[in-house]
Amino acid sequence: MKLTNLRALVAAIEEGSLRAAGKRLGVSQPALTKLIRELERELATTLLVRSTTGVVATAQGMVMYGRAVAAERELAQAVEQIRQLDGHMTGALTIGAVPLAVMLLVPETLRTFGSAFPGIQLRISEELYIAQLTRLRKGEVDIALGPLPPELPPGEFVVETLMPITMVPVVRKGDPLAQAGSLRDLALAPWVYTGASSDSGYAKTLFELHGLAAPPAGALVNSTLGLLSIVASGKCVGLLPQQIAAHPIATQYLDTIQLAEGPLRLTLCALTRTDVHLKPSVRHFMAHLHRAAHHLAQDDSL
């Protein structure tokens, strides 16, 4: 099984057209068709079928597509790692981070790491809760920055503690719910849940920590802007990192609720995979992350 055949299949599925796939790979349509037919003969199955708009993958084709994409990604990372081990600090580093990390830790880390390793391209994607773990498992990100979820199987990832996070409830500025004294006063209010479903998220964690049922989900979001917009509209209660809730821009539109139970306290961690050898650039970035967290802790203590 050759990489050229796998790349032909990946291109055909992603483009939905043999002609477009051939153009993408710089080969003729007949040559690309031949590569895919060779792969089908080797596997003794059909991977693509024609549609009214081009081609679509069969179930077998989608299985091979997923494996081919993962294999190509792993090989590219291996080449990058070998070059870095040889002293050529080039390539890319992909980071998935929660908003607080993007706001506080990432800028300083980018400044110092970027100065030390200008040949490394950094890609930062913001993720709420710990949804980026799915991308970490797939190898789509090199490092995930977020609170450690309690349901995470021990030993699945290498976990390094960076700093504490304090999550506070917020509502639209002037909302009567801002005067709530306890979680029970907010139990019937709709909350913004962060993540893919209302079965997880900070709101559920906060209520269950104090022996209360999770509040109703007024909205599900996966972006800071979405959460801020919904809460500022007056429809829901939300949870934000204290540093973000106290930002001058946020305080124009939001009130922080002071609860008897106190805020939700979490720990920001950096997670990497255990089943791969880390690229030198990952290890260096982790060192710069710890340095930024240390400086932030010193500033907060002043």
**Cα separation, 83 vs 87, whole angstroms:** 7
**Cα separation, 162 vs 143, whole angstroms:** 13
pLDDT tens-digit profile of 35-63? 999 999 999 999 999 988 889 999 999 99
Residues 268 and 192 in one domain: yes
Task: Check if the beta carbon of residue 261 is closer than 8 Å to that of residue 180.
Answer: no
Residue 198: exposure state from Cβ atoms within 10 A (0-12, 13-18, ≥19):
middle
pLDDT tens-digit profile of 209-244? 999 999 998 988 877 788 889 999 888 999 998 888
**Cα separation, 98 vs 130, whole angstroms:** 8
**Cα separation, 286 vs 289, whole angstroms:** 5
How many structural domains does the chain have? 2
**Cα separation, 233 vs 120, whole angstroms:** 40
Identify the pLDDT of residue 224: 77
Give the type of residue at 300: D
Residues 114 and 237 in one domain: yes
Residues 181 and 50 in one domain: no
Looking up residue 61, the CATH number of its domain turns out to be 1.10.10.10
Q: Regarding beta strands 120-126 and 55-57, do their DSSP bridges make them parallel or antiparallel, or are they unpaired?
A: unpaired
Torsion, Cα 184 192 232 95, to 10 degrees, reads 130
Looking up residue 107, the CATH number of its domain turns out to be 3.40.190.290
Residues 64 and 109 in one domain: no
Domain boundary among 84, 110, 139: 84
Residues 302 and 229 in one domain: yes
φ, ψ at 72 (rounded to 5°): -65, -40
Identify the pLDDT of residue 86: 74
pLDDT tens-digit profile of 233-286? 888 999 998 888 998 989 999 999 999 999 999 899 999 988 777 888 899 999
SS3 content of the chain, % helix, strand, coil (to 5): 45, 25, 30
Domain of 24?
A: 3-84
**Residues paired with residue 255 on neighbouring β-strands, in sequence order:** 171
Per-residue pLDDT band at 208 (split at 50, 70, 90): very high
Residues 49 and 126 in one domain: no
Task: Check if the beta carbon of residue 248 is closer than 8 Å to that of residue 200.
Answer: no
Residues 133 and 111 in one domain: yes
Residues 74 and 99 in one domain: no
Give the type of residue at 247: H
If we measure between CA atoms, which residue out of 51, 44, 52, 55 comes closest to residue 9?
55
